[in-house]
Structure 1
Amino acid sequence: MAAAMGDPSLSRLQFAPFSSALDVGFWHELTQKKLNEYRLDEAPKDIKGYYYNGDSAGLPARLTLEFSAFDMSAPTPARCCPAVGTLYNTNTLEAFKAADKKLLLEEAANKIWESIKSGAALDNPMLLNKFLLLTFAITIGVYDPCNLAQYPGWPLRNFLVLAAHRWSGSFQSVEVVCFRDRTLQGVRDVAHSIVFEVKLPEMAFSPDCPKAVGWEKNQKGGMGPRMVNLSECMDPKRLAESSVDLNLKLMCWRLVPTLDLDKVVSAKCLLLGAGTLGCNVARTLMGWGVRHITFVDNAKISYSNPVRQPLYEFEDCLAGGKPKALAAADRLQKIFPGVNARGFNMSIPMPGHPVNFSSVTLEQARRDVEQLEQLIDGHDVVFLLMDTRESRWLPAVIAASKRKLVINAALGFDTFVVMRHGLKKPRHQGAGDLCPSYPMASADLLGSSLFANIPGYKLGCYFCNDVVAPGDSTRDRTLDQQCTVSRPGLAMIAGALAVELMVSVLQHPEGGYAIASSSDDRMNEPPTSLGLVPHQIRGFLSRFDNVLPVSLAFDKCTACSSKVLDQYEREGFNFLAKVFNSSHSFLEDLTGLTLLHQETQAAEIWDMSDDETV
Structure 2
Amino acid sequence: MASDSREATSSTADFKLQFAPFSSALEAGFWHQLTQKKLNDYRLDESPKSIKGHYYNGDPLGLPTRLTLEFSAFEEDGPTPAHCCRSGGTLYNTNTLDAFKTIDKKALLEKETMEIWDAVCSGTALKDPSILCRFILLTFADLKKYHFYYWFCFPALCFSEGIKIVREPSVLDQVFSAKQIAALQQGYDDLCIKRRITAVPYFLMKYTEDTVQMAPLEDWDAFFTGAEKVTVGVYDPCTLSQHPGWPMRNLLVLLAKQWGSKLDTVEVLCFRDRTLQGSRSIQHSLVFHIKLPKIPCTTACPKSVGWEKNVKGAMGPRMVNLSECMDPKRLAESSVDLNLKLMRWRLVPSLDLDKVVSTKCLLLGAGTLGCNVARTLMGWGVRRITFVDNAKISYSNPVRQPLYEFEDCLGGGKSKATAAVDRLTKIFPGVNAEGYNMSIPMPGHPVNFSQATLSQAQRDVEQLEKLISEHDVVFLLMDTRESRWLPTVIAASKRKLVVNAALGFDTFVVMRHGLKKPSTSQSASAELDSPSSGSSSSSSSLTPAGSIPGASLFSNIPGHKLGCYFCNDVVAPGDSTKDRTLDQQCTVSRPGLAMIAGALAVEMMVSILQHSEGGYAVASSSDDRMNEPPTSLGLVPHQIRGFLSRFDNVLPASLAFDKCTACSPVVLDHYEKEGFNFLSQVFNSSHSFLEDLTGLTLLHQETQAAEIWDMSDDESI
Task: Give the TM-score taking structure 2 as reference length.
Answer: 0.60
Deviation at 1:437, TM superposition (A): 2.2
Give the Cα–Cα distance (whole angstroms) in 2 for the partners of residues 613 and 241 of structure 1.
77
Asked if 2 retains the 8 angstrom alpha-carbon contact of 1:435 and 1:553, the reply is no
1:282 matches 2:410 = no
Partner of 1:425: 517
| Aligned ranges 1:8-157 → 2 under 5 Å | 93=221, 154=246
Give the Cα–Cα distance (whole angstroms) in 2 for the partners of residues 490 and 160 of structure 1.
76
Q: Which runs of 4+ in 1 moved over 4 A?
A: 94-98, 139-161, 167-210, 220-232, 357-360
Residues 308-340 of structure 1: per-residue CA shift (max 9 Å, x gap):
111111111111111111111101111111111
Give the Cα–Cα distance (whole angstroms) in 2 for the partners of residues 250 and 477 of structure 1.
49
Q: How many residues align?
A: 490
Residues 92-114 of structure 1: per-residue CA shift (max 9 Å, x gap):
7289969xxxxxxxxxxxxxxxx
Give the Cα–Cα distance (whole angstroms) in 1 for the partners of residues 615 and 267 of structure 2.
63
2:680 pairs, out of 557, 562, 577, with: 577
Residues 323-363 of structure 1: per-residue CA shift (max 9 Å, x gap):
11111110111111111111111100000101116998111
1:412 matches 2:515 = no
Partner of 1:262: 354
2:651 pairs, out of 548, 567, 570, with: 548
Give the Cα–Cα distance (whole angstroms) in 2 for the partners of residues 238 and 262 of structure 1.
18
Asked if 2 retains the 8 angstrom alpha-carbon contact of 1:441 and 1:551, the reply is yes
Larger Rg: 1
Partner of 1:13: none
Deviation at 1:591, TM superposition (A): 1.0
1:306 pairs, out of 386, 398, 402, with: 398
Partner of 2:175: none
2:564 pairs, out of 435, 448, 461, with: 461
Asked if 2 retains the 8 angstrom alpha-carbon contact of 1:382 and 1:406, the reply is yes
What amino acid is the match of 1:586? F
| Aligned ranges 1:111-510 → 2 under 5 Å | 154=246, 210-216=303-309, 218=311, 233-356=325-448, 361-427=453-519, 431-432=523-524, 436-442=528-534, 443=548, 445-446=550-551, 448=553, 451-510=554-613
Secondary structure in 2 matching 1:349? coil
Give the Cα–Cα distance (whole angstroms) in 2 for the partners of residues 476 and 550 of structure 1.
34
**Higher mean C-alpha deviation, range 199-208 or range 429-438:** 199-208
What amino acid is the match of 1:543? R
Partner of 1:136: none
Asked if 1 retains the 8 angstrom alpha-carbon contact of 2:260 and 2:295, the reply is no
Deviation at 1:245, TM superposition (A): 1.6
Residues 43-76 of structure 1: per-residue CA shift (max 9 Å, x gap):
xxxxxxxxxxxxxxxxxxxxxxx99xxxxxxxxx
Deviation at 1:280, TM superposition (A): 0.5
Partner of 1:20: none
Deviation at 1:175, TM superposition (A): 12
Name the one with the larger strand percent.
2
Secondary structure in 1 matching 2:491? helix
Give the Cα–Cα distance (whole angstroms) in 2 for the partners of residues 597 and 390 of structure 1.
21
Give the Cα–Cα distance (whole angstroms) in 1 for the partners of residues 233 and 518 of structure 2.
59
Deviation at 1:612, TM superposition (A): 2.7
Give the Cα–Cα distance (whole angstroms) in 2 for the partners of residues 597 and 142 of structure 1.
95
Give the Cα–Cα distance (whole angstroms) in 1 for the partners of residues 362 and 244 of structure 2.
59
RMSD over aligned CA atoms reads: 4.1
Deviation at 1:595, TM superposition (A): 1.2
Partner of 1:560: 663
Secondary structure in 1 matching 2:715? helix
Q: Judging changes above 3 Å, is the alpha-carbon distance between structure 1 residues 545 and 213 closer, same or farther for their aligned structure 2 residues?
A: same
Deviation at 1:466, TM superposition (A): 0.9
Q: Judging changes above 3 Å, is the alpha-carbon distance between structure 1 residues 229 and 515 closer, same or farther for their aligned structure 2 residues?
A: closer
Deviation at 1:570, TM superposition (A): 0.9
Secondary structure in 2 matching 1:589? helix
Partner of 2:104: none
Q: Judging changes above 3 Å, is the alpha-carbon distance between structure 1 residues 207 and 499 closer, same or farther for their aligned structure 2 residues?
A: farther
Partner of 2:703: 600
Residues 209-264 of structure 1: per-residue CA shift (max 9 Å, x gap):
9533242453x655577677767633222222222222112111121111111111
Give the Cα–Cα distance (whole angstroms) in 2 for the partners of residues 464 and 206 of structure 1.
86
Q: Judging changes above 3 Å, is the alpha-carbon distance between structure 1 residues 587 and 148 closer, same or farther for their aligned structure 2 residues?
A: farther
Q: Judging changes above 3 Å, is the alpha-carbon distance between structure 1 residues 447 and 276 closer, same or farther for their aligned structure 2 residues?
A: closer
What amino acid is the match of 1:364? Q
Q: Judging changes above 3 Å, is the alpha-carbon distance between structure 1 residues 142 and 610 closer, same or farther for their aligned structure 2 residues?
A: farther
Secondary structure in 2 matching 1:240? helix
Asked if 1 retains the 8 angstrom alpha-carbon contact of 2:516 and 2:524, the reply is no
The share of aligned pairs that are identical, in percent, is: 76
Q: Judging changes above 3 Å, is the alpha-carbon distance between structure 1 residues 466 and 253 closer, same or farther for their aligned structure 2 residues?
A: same
Give the Cα–Cα distance (whole angstroms) in 1 for the partners of residues 332 and 647 of structure 2.
36
Give the Cα–Cα distance (whole angstroms) in 1 for the partners of residues 595 and 252 of structure 2.
63
Give the Cα–Cα distance (whole angstroms) in 1 for the partners of residues 297 and 522 of structure 2.
70
Structure 2 gaps, min length 5? 1-117, 125-193, 196-217, 535-547
**Higher mean C-alpha deviation, range 264-273 or range 437-446:** 437-446
Give the Cα–Cα distance (whole angstroms) in 1 for the partners of residues 408 and 375 of structure 2.
18
What amino acid is the match of 2:461? V
Give the Cα–Cα distance (whole angstroms) in 1 for the partners of residues 516 and 293 of structure 2.
72
Asked if 2 retains the 8 angstrom alpha-carbon contact of 1:350 and 1:393, the reply is yes
Asked if 2 retains the 8 angstrom alpha-carbon contact of 1:295 and 1:344, the reply is yes
Deviation at 1:444, TM superposition (A): 5.1
Give the Cα–Cα distance (whole angstroms) in 2 for the partners of residues 594 and 209 of structure 1.
96
Secondary structure in 2 matching 1:546? strand
